[in-house]
Amino acid sequence: MATTLLRTFVLKINFKFLYSYFCQKAKWNKRKEFDYHIFNYPSKKVEITNADVDRIIDSAWSVWSGAKIGLKFTSSNLETATIKIFFVAGNHSDKWPFDGEGHVLGHGFYPKDGIIHFDDDEKWGDKKGKGKQLLYVAVHEFGHALGLGHSNDSSSIMLRSYTGYRANIVLSQDDIDGIKEAFSG
């Protein structure tokens, strides 16, 4: 009896951890088109320009568009954009201050907040060995803004930890299943 209860408890815990996107109640309703605005640029860039940051952010949204569920993302000059992107450091107007270089890299808030913060104390780059990979972190944080939680699938972009530079950033099946669930019904 005790073994069965423990097994049931562990299965429930593992299910929620493996598929955390099922636990997110906040959704974008039927919305599938989003505009985004980059409010400022990182102060510590490694061999990238502001134009490169624009390109990287656009590429990160393209990764999610690749899930083939009709998501569309458009850059906007309007501060009223649905998704708002900031590079901030330390205490920065939310309950989750950044901790300086090398630890927490960013956070994205679940729908319908649409705010994404990247730690401006980090050195952001686009090449192996040249700072933290902005593309990888952006795709991950955008997943949160779209409604996904963390995954323990090591191939998932929604893995809890930054694992370093990835040459080819694609959604895992776990990511695709999660985004489909987040935008279903």
Q: From the CB of residue 132, how many other CB atoms can be counted at a distance below 10 Å?
A: 22
Q: Which residues are catalytic?
A: 141
The reported pTM is: 0.85
**For residue 137, what is the enclosing H or E element?**
helix 134-146
- In order along its 185 residues, the chain shows pLDDT tens digits of 443 333 333 333 333 344 444 445 667 877 899 999 999 999 999 899 999 999 999 999 999 999 999 999 999 999 999 999 999 999 988 888 888 898 899 999 888 889 999 999 999 999 998 999 999 999 999 999 999 999 999 999 999 999 899 999 999 999 999 999 888 86
Q: Which domains does the chain have, with CATH numbers?
A: 2-182 (3.40.390.10)
- Judge whether 146 and 179 are in contact, CB under 8 Å: yes
35 annotated binding-site participant: no
> Which residues share a beta bridge with 132?
124
100 annotated binding-site participant: yes
- Judge whether 88 and 44 are in contact, CB under 8 Å: no
**For residue 119, what is the enclosing H or E element?**
strand 115-119
92 annotated binding-site participant: yes
pLDDT value of residue 132: 95
